[in-house]
A and B are shown apart, each in its own frame.
Chain A
């Protein structure tokens, strides 16, 4: 089992460009989330999903969109990238049986 995978590992964008960060899991977990990690700020929740077709906003949702059409995939979309979105992005999954979060390896995004 691959667990939680994220692509790409690194990405450089210009201001105003759009892109999608991919997250996939083969653990059959119902819950998935996106975090951004910035120096000194810890892990801040962007969006999360409690199941296919259900998403909700986290602490810092502005500038990001998500959808969850399948249990396995939870893509994060940046519609018009801004330098403030330069960060490391982590996807996580978990199940209500254990509450333990399983994180992907991260995507390092730089917006110029």
Chain B
């Protein structure tokens, strides 16, 4: 089955700095890679996703890159703000719905004002 490794487990940055979270996956058939943000006391919520037919996707201060050859993908947050503080999860899955995504163990991002 799929195995997703996520690093680092904790990331502390100053407000305004950039933050990068990296994930690797094992199943070459995976082609859907979402990122979820979990705020304290809440359930995870999708913030951005990428499919294997693209190498990069941006949404304002957030971007995700994908390297299918190396089987890794990354989340980039620029100009971090205190409200970016949360736990971030990466995941990998095959398309079609019936394939259950495999999640990384999460990264706790702390943005210091």
Contact = CB atoms under 8 A, between A and B. Distances in A.
Contacts of B41: 105-106
A40 interface: yes
Contact of A100 (B46, B89, B100, B104): B46
Contacts of A58: 100
Contact of A106 (B42, B46, B104): B42
Interface stretch (A13-21, A63-71, A76-84, A90-98): A90-98
Which range contains the number of B residues in contact with the other chain?
Answer: 20 to 34
Contacts of A33: 100
A40 B45 contact: no
Interface string B33-73: 01010000111111001000000000000000000000000
Nearest to B32: A99
A94 B34 contact: no
Nearest to A51: B98
Nearest to B97: A96
B104 A42 contact: yes
12 contacts: A45-B100, A48-B100, A58-B100, A92-B43, A96-B98, A99-B95, A99-B96, A99-B97, A100-B34, A100-B49, A101-B46, A103-B44
The 9 A-B pairs at the shortest CB distance, nearest first, are namely A96-B97, A103-B43, A42-B105, A43-B103, A103-B44, A42-B106, A99-B32, A100-B46, A50-B98
